[in-house]
Structure 1
Amino acid sequence: MRSAEYPRRVAMISMHTSPLETPGVGDAGGLNVYVAEVARRLGARGVEIDVFTRRTDPNTPDEVSPHENVRVIQLAAGPAKAMSKEDLPPLVNEFAARLDARTEDYDLIHSHYWLSGLAGLGLAARREIPLVHTMHTMARVKNASRADDHLVEPDVREEGEAAIVRAAEVLTANTPDEALELQEHYGAREEQLAIVPPGVDLDRFHPCNRSRTREQLGIDQDHQVIVFVGRIQPLKAPDVLIQAVGELVRRDPERRHRLRLMIIGSPSGPESSWADTLPGLVGSLGLDGIVEFRPHSPRDQLFRWYCASDVVGVPSYNESFGLVALEAQACGRPVVATDVGGLRHAVDDESTGLLVHGHDPERWADALSRILDDPELAVELGRNAATHAARFSWDNSAKATLDAYHSARLAVS
């Protein structure tokens, strides 16, 4: 039962991407999953959740109710078409005005990503209700960890995030490391911070029969299969896995007959054309027939690709958490991930997978081969991975979110 100390109605803002969108398409990703799952669990606890997002299709209904006590509401701001989030800052004020025109009474605003935070700032002040904000990613953190040839996050984003930190009653962070980053990069106060770990849908992602799944997908039982899942952009670094696979084949040319790298996802962001360089990289390394590109998959289908893999690679330059790593582990698959950000919490190094410092393809090849060439280690890591992932649930995330809401309400009482 919902205690009276918790809010009755919450306006949740996800301006730049709808929780109804398929992760891996455009700007849809882990944030979409986070908003959808937390909203669903809060609704099940009796909190009425209205998720406000920007209309990107003129034919989409004004309101959709995907779950009990949850509504996804489309607001007009700019043209009713898909736009990159980098092009949305000029539309924040229009979106905020549409939101402010709503007559519903809300007890609290929970904004996701900096564009939504800016839209919620004025509304929270005018209605004298608390603002809870979840960054998901931060400009100053991304700029500090980016590669030299990656785009720099703009000043307007850094300034917007700083304004949100100054105004929000509570800032939720996925991990203690992210909370520390909010303090170090933005001057967040310790009393503002609440740790809300993301969860994983354990009904959808769970240990599975690899042999049967490979038979269904037409994958050779003897192949060594590495899977990458994510948006195809420099930040996610699928090129690192391609180069690592090239190094594995260079070391052992016979491996090319059994090694496969499946890259599952679609181009995204202002550097979406970067994805066009990857087939050329594959060709230059002589990996045609070894590396396969597949578009984004619905989450039910994604489960099958995790199941078919020997190991899942997450070579991102930065992740606030890394839901892909958690989903893969929930399926009993070891993960090799970059030793950065939230991945340090999602993956238990040497227990559920391996963390790699940096993006040197040789180091990545070393880590991948440790798992691919040691079946006993792979089984042990996979077993530990499933146990580790089972500790994360969206119900726990919802409970931590409610506690953050309670703290925010106390801060303005």
Structure 2
Amino acid sequence: MEVTEADAVRRVAMISVHTSPFDQPGTGDAGGLNVYVLELSRRLAAAGIEVDIFTRATSSRLAPIAEAGGGIAVHNIHAGPFEGLTKGELPAQLCTFAREVLRAEAGLPLGHYDVVHSHYWLSGQVGALARDRWRVPLVHTMHTMAKVKNEAIATGDAPEPVARIIGEEQVVEAADMLIASTDLEAKQLVNLYDADPGRVEVVHPGVDLQVFRPRDTHAAREHLGVPHDALVVLFAGRLQPLKGPDVLLRAVARLLEQQPGLRSRLVVPIVGGPSGTGIEHPEALADLAAELKVDDVVRFVPPVAPAELALWDAAASLVAVPSYNESFGLVAAEAQAAGTPVVAAAVGGLTTVVADGVSGLLLDTHEPDDWAHSIGRVLLDDGLRARLAAGARVRAGAFSWEDTAERTLEVYERARASLRELV
């Protein structure tokens, strides 16, 4: 499709209700979604696109409009109490949030925004209203889907409510274009949500290849206080059943039963904070580590900034991603960019991110014995680990935020064209 200057997208309203680009990934509800929103916005801004991000304020100290660099404006909207509001309670605040988004646009010249891009179903509800009010296309990225999550519920987790499923169905119907992170997610949108295949485009998320890159392992370990000869099995992410950190702990316990000589060298950093149902029992993982008698090798590390996480990736012998569901698997992609092999569950987007036997190992099970075996293979076979590390670096080159932004702009332009045909 040829795009004229008049057709070109110049201003985007990015809606992210429940997590702010300023939030620290790995804690609360902050994770891959807010990394996605911020990194995509940065690349769009670098391409000359004005981006306004609308998110819910979680502190009275936040300015109504904050600068995120590169001309990105973050609108911190007051909708509900600043603290103590769970994601499950946010639907009750959507009317207030939507009203403030519409009010912000009302003070701008007519036709200010060219497209609305919403993230997660809560934002999609607001985006659908803005679409109709502003007469601009709605592009929506699901990130996670209730029907998919409910098909593979982790032990101790709760199913997603019917209200969310209905809300997601409404957003799928309202959106002019849907962005899926992988081919699998695109199929799930069509098969589970009756999305029109012609309105679904696959755009892979990216990795900041300047931050997550191969580094000197010894230097990284020196900085983090990890012994140079350690065997480091890293978990990074929110501590909730969905992410499966307990799977890793049970696998480590089984590995040490089989290979007791590894105990003196094994280090298992768990980098992240409680989230989701994990908030209800924030000490549960530490209690499990003690119960399994692996607390001497496990290190619990609070959530860290991307630059620090990149050091942990570089210091690791492998990164374990035992999730029960991942729409993409940003942690795995970042680890590979650092040249670190990944042992991951063969679920969701991880089957796209990780090339089995090339950049890591994929497991179609969460059984501790199977995970112990695969982790042990990578740790104890230097040749295998070196081959996977080389493959990881190559694999990471397939995912960059610059490519993501370029493809996303193409989707915006398609959405504008389809909207004009409907008017």
* TM-score when normalising by structure 2: 0.95
Moved more, 5-14 or 180-189: 5-14
How far off is 1:364 after superposition? 0.4
Corresponding residue of 1:34: 36
Residue of structure 2 aligned with 1:116, choices 102, 113, 123: 123
Corresponding residue of 1:43: 45
Task: Provide the identity percentage.
Answer: 45
Q: In 1, distance between residues paired with 2:99 and 2:365?
A: 44
Q: Which runs of 5+ in 2 are unaligned?
A: none
> Is contact 1:26-1:84 (8 Å) kept?
no
Q: CA offsets, 1:23-79, max 9 Å, x none? A: 112111000110000001111111111000011111111112222231111111112
Are residue 79 (structure 1) and residue 81 (structure 2) matched?
yes
Q: How does 1:334-349 map to 2 (within 5 A)?
A: 334-349=341-356
- Helix, strand or coil for the counterpart of 2:68? strand
Are residue 377 (structure 1) and residue 384 (structure 2) matched?
yes
Q: CA offsets, 1:345-367, max 9 Å, x none? A: 11000000000112000110111
> Is contact 2:236-2:272 (8 Å) kept?
yes
- Helix, strand or coil for the counterpart of 2:283? helix
How far off is 1:202 after superposition? 0.5
Q: How does 1:226-375 map to 2 (within 5 A)?
A: 226-375=233-382
> Is contact 1:315-1:337 (8 Å) kept?
yes
How far off is 1:216 after superposition? 2.1
Provide the alpha-carbon RMSD of the alignment. Answer: 1.4
Q: CA offsets, 1:219-275, max 9 Å, x none? A: 112211100000000000100000000011010211111112110100012431344
> Is contact 2:289-2:295 (8 Å) kept?
yes
Are residue 163 (structure 1) and residue 156 (structure 2) matched?
no
Q: CA offsets, 1:119-149, max 9 Å, x none? A: 1111211221110000000000000111353
Corresponding residue of 1:195: 202
Q: Which runs of 5+ in 1 are unaligned?
A: none
Count of equivalent residues: 413
Q: In 2, distance between residues paired with 1:188 and 1:95?
A: 26
How far off is 1:2 after superposition? 9.5
How far off is 1:319 after superposition? 0.2
Residue of structure 2 aligned with 1:127, choices 125, 129, 134: 134
Moved more, 63-72 or 84-93: 63-72
Corresponding residue of 1:402: 409
* TM-score when normalising by structure 1: 0.97
Question: Which residue identity does 1:91 align to in structure 2?
Answer: Q
> Is contact 2:13-2:53 (8 Å) kept?
yes
Question: Which residue identity does 1:254 align to in structure 2?
Answer: G
Q: In 2, distance between residues paired with 1:168 and 1:68?
A: 28
Structure 1: which 4+ aligned runs deviate by more than 6 Å? none
Corresponding residue of 2:25: 23
Q: In 1, distance between residues paired with 2:123 and 2:241?
A: 24
> Is contact 1:56-1:82 (8 Å) kept?
no
Question: Which residue identity does 2:118 align to in structure 1?
Answer: S
Are residue 151 (structure 1) and residue 151 (structure 2) matched?
no
Q: In 2, distance between residues paired with 1:203 and 1:354?
A: 25
> Is contact 2:154-2:244 (8 Å) kept?
no
How far off is 1:4 after superposition? 4.2
Are residue 207 (structure 1) and residue 209 (structure 2) matched?
no
Residue of structure 1 aligned with 2:70, choices 68, 71, 77: 68
How far off is 1:3 after superposition? 5.0
